[in-house]
Chain A
Amino acid sequence: MVSGSAARWPLATFPRLRRLREALLVARTTLCVERARLWTEHFKEQGFDRERPLLRQARALSYVLDNLPPVVFDDELIVGSTTQHRLGALIFPEFMSMVIWPELPTLAQRAHDPVQLDPAHQALLGDEIFPFWKDLTVHEHARVKGDNPESLRLLERMVFYLLAKSNGITHIIPDYATVVRRGLAALSQEALQRSVEATDPEAAEFHQATHLSLEAVIRFAGRYAAECRRLSKQVTRSRALELLTIAEALERVPAQPAKTMHEALQSIWLVQVALHQENNDLALSFGRLDQILWPLYQADLLEGRLDPAGAAELLGAFFIKMGDHTPLVPSAAQKIFGGSATNQAVTIGGLTPDGDDGVNPMTMLALNVSELLALREPNLCARLHHDSPASYRRALVDSIYRTGAAPALYGDEAVIEALCAHGVSLEHARDYGVIGCVEPTNAGRTCGMTGAILFNLAAVLELTLNDGVHPLSGLQVGPRTGKLAALDSAGKLRAAFERQLDHLVTLACDGNTRLARAHAELHPTPLLSALIEGTAESGRDITRGGARYNSSGVAIVGLADVADSLTAIEQLVFEGEQIELAELGAALVDDFCGHERTRALLRSRASRYGTDDARADRTTIELIERVAESFDRHPTPRDGRYQVGYWTLTMHTGFGALTGALPSGRRRGRPLASGATPVAGAATAGPTAALASTAALPARLMANGIANNHKLPRGLLAQPGKLELMNRLVEVFFARGGMQLQYTVQDRQDLLEAQQDPDAHRDLLVRVSGYTAYFCQLNRAIQDEIIARTEDRL
């Protein structure tokens, strides 16, 4: 396979891309009501047929796609708009969009992340759309059906865990390889045939629903083609030719197999837009785009239809389209999700299903285009394996330096081991793509809902130290496992911790199952199901376990803080007897005020994760093993296994704000450590030791991925030889079995200046915990957390 670096172009080479990029960056987010209006209008007119949910949903989607006005912007080479605006936010009233309801009248005026909203649309949403869905949301359906179960009551406290299925089926990779290679018409015809032949009524309904949905997408493409033809009569001759070319493409794809790279990109994007109308537009990812596109790009090159610069422009236009929508985040939730894009991940490089190196010219093109655009979407994820070409690895490092944040790096050996340990075949495990932030999943064959549970491990520790009482609210949440004074040995402490852990895990899994069942009943998803392998054969929607592989994803928050806390108690209280248990308890209650010596001891004398210390690493590994064991006791709603990962979005600041002082010496309200990264300031032994600790974590128990955040000063890397040192660090980390590594390359001073003058730094990229974000769109707390992260020294 071809490898090595391709041409690097400055953005100025592509005036069109520069204009499109600028238009996106200056666009103000506008709340788009069209999808919600049509969706609700359909159900108001047709009723909510509870007998045939699959057909009901397929007809609703068809209604939306048949009536959504096509929107084509100037300069676009790839068309299809998620919303009616250059940068829009969708509303899903059947899920959790109603959290924005209180803010509708003031959304445009809010201080952080204002969103434009037409007054008429505000009234439509507030007075007609949201009221209609009162009893029909996933959350309410599960709550009523379970008679307000404890698991959902606890969810509403938002301190212990968050369950994402209230918000739709997201975090998945559709089978875009099949969309490109076979086209939707073939899938639709097969579905029709199966619906006729099926003897099981549910299967017959499922196939009929997928057929209806796929046909609706084909008509949707036809309407876009017609719009391009209409617009071609109103523009310059050169633009008219472009629009006619796009129209011709849309008259073929996505119905038929793509014959060119342009058709493939257009096909994928139009299907993505259609999928965004069916399910929440979060982390719907593209999989291994370089593997899908390379045969078409190669054919284009051979036939002389395209040269590398032309291909770069097309791919750039496609990447820019990915940024056309953004999540609608309520003010209070800015702590949790602030600044996040919708995290559409694109995966490049890595092993092929046969075990060969998969790097090809499209890999390098994607890397180069991502670099020249330097946008937060797509979340570019680059795979590395032990035999990856050295030039490719170096190109990745150079790209991280230039963009300041992308791509994130993944170690094939660790990821493949993790997926195989969870029942994925070796061939399919090698074919993984990354979803959303950092979650590796077999592309196109898995319903994994990788963000199903966000779990606060620090809350487990707080319950342990307080006899099951949550200190912030005073609620008795966990079992009574003894007051702190009674936990007078490491054995007792661990036993109490494990009981509290099992209790919270049981509740989180119970809530997840209830929401999954509610989702299957209220909002099955026939279009997305049609694009996941296994559903056609099983005749079941993905919400009912129809996919080839089924799992639910867990993201653990607070790993390093809890591991350091347990190590500190064991070493300083039980072994060294340097701190009395009573003194520790008092220090935690007082947030270490008046207990400065105790805090200093905890922070300086105890072993800490991230220093390549055997004791601390062992505690961390044992913690990961215990968490995995606890989740493994519960089957997922679709008879799969829970896959646990260690990534945190911005929840390490969100949960951190709600967490009291911890025995690690962390003070009340401070951010928890992000992802699987050591606590900020703890990795005092340097980046090699920090990476060694993370590489030692058991990959097989982290199948939902990890976010391993590191920060390097740009000024340092500019010095001779430093980039090569970074390259060596990367090489050694993955050679030692590391799973994931991502860098923010910015100088502290630049970040501080960006806080002062956001307008001048609006495209400054950083890694949060998994995703790439514009620094200035993050809330102040997460900005400060990124500034405070340990800076690696080379």
Chain B
Amino acid sequence: MSGGRWLRARADERVDRLLLRATVEALATSFDLARRLDPSFRRALEGFEATYQFSHGATSHQLCISPDRIRARPGRAASADYEVVFFDLRAALLRLRRDPSDLLGLQLENLIEETGNIHYLFRLGYLFGLLQRRGLDASLPMRRLWRGATALLDRRASA
């Protein structure tokens, strides 16, 4: 690999790491906001405790959900209920931006690989669907994520 291509590959990796972290953090912030603001979202969380792990390459972040708190944590979980591995993080994010609840579409297009009880995947999709219905997917953290992600991806594409 030439020096230029090597540098570019490293830069891509950095972008992907950043994107993954931003995605999980934005998810956590938006979900937590919805939990505070939306009674239907709180009802959907009743009795629900789960740790999701999102990985891309060597990078992992967790989304920890409980009825009274939703947060993001860096690193691998000791025991995750559900793990999503992104094969193509950028394509997956762009697809999610088009339709955040279309998790089945991500599977069909081979953009992700998952491990665990698919109940957790679809329940996560439901929570996102609730965000969408309330317009909270356009909340500040999500807007920032999409804006930031789009800018990054556009920059990479034009480069």
A binding-site residues for B, Cβ under 8 Å: 98-99, 101-106, 123, 126-127, 130-131, 133-135, 137, 139-140, 143-144, 148, 153, 156-159, 330-333, 335, 472-474, 654, 657-658
Contact = CB atoms under 8 A, between A and B. Distances in A.
Interface string B105-131: 101111001110111001111101110
B44 A127 contact: yes
A110 to B, nearest CB: 9
Interface of B: 40, 43-44, 46-48, 87, 99, 101-105, 107-110, 113-115, 117-119, 122-126, 128-130, 132-133
Contacts of B44: 123, 126-127
Given A140-B118, A140-B119, A148-B115, A106 B108 contact: no
Given A101-B126, A157-B107, 14 more contacts: A99-B104, A101-B123, A102-B102, A102-B104, A106-B132, A126-B44, A130-B119, A131-B47, A140-B117, A143-B117, A158-B108, A331-B99, A332-B102, A658-B109
A609 to B, nearest CB: 28
B133 A98 contact: no
Given A98-B122, A99-B122, A158 B87 contact: no
Contacts of A148: 115
Contacts of A658: 108-110
Contacts of A140: 117-119
Given A473-B110, A474-B87, A105 B122 contact: no
Main secondary structure of the interface of B (DSSP, over half): helix
A332 B111 CA distance: 13
A144 B109 CA distance: 25
Contact of B130 (A105, A130, A473, A654): A105
B108 A127 contact: no
A126 B126 contact: yes
B5 to A, nearest CB: 19
A143 B44 CA distance: 26
A101 to B, nearest CB: 4
A330 B123 CA distance: 14
Which 4 pairs of residues, A with B, have the shortest CB-CB distance? A102-B125, A332-B104, A332-B105, A105-B133
Main secondary structure of the interface of A (DSSP, over half): helix
B74 to A, nearest CB: 26
Contacts of B101: 102-103, 105-106
A99 B121 CA distance: 9
B85 to A, nearest CB: 11
Contact of B133 (A106, A137, A473): A106
A156 B114 contact: yes
Contacts of B128: 102
A331 B100 CA distance: 12
A230 to B, nearest CB: 36
A209 B159 CA distance: 68
B63 to A, nearest CB: 15
Contacts of B46: 127
Nearest to B120: A134
B126 A102 contact: yes
A101 B103 CA distance: 10
8 contacts: A98-B119, A99-B104, A99-B122, A101-B122, A105-B129, A130-B123, A159-B110, A472-B110
Contacts of A474: 87
A495 B55 CA distance: 38
B96 to A, nearest CB: 11
Contacts of A101: 122-123, 125-126, 129
A376 B13 CA distance: 51
Contacts of A654: 108
Contacts of B40: 123
A102 B118 contact: no
Contacts of A127: 43-44, 46
A137 B114 CA distance: 18
A131 B123 contact: yes
A263 B25 CA distance: 63
Contacts of B114: 156
Contacts of B125: 101-103
Given A98-B119, A106-B133, A143-B117, A157 B110 contact: yes
A134 B119 CA distance: 6
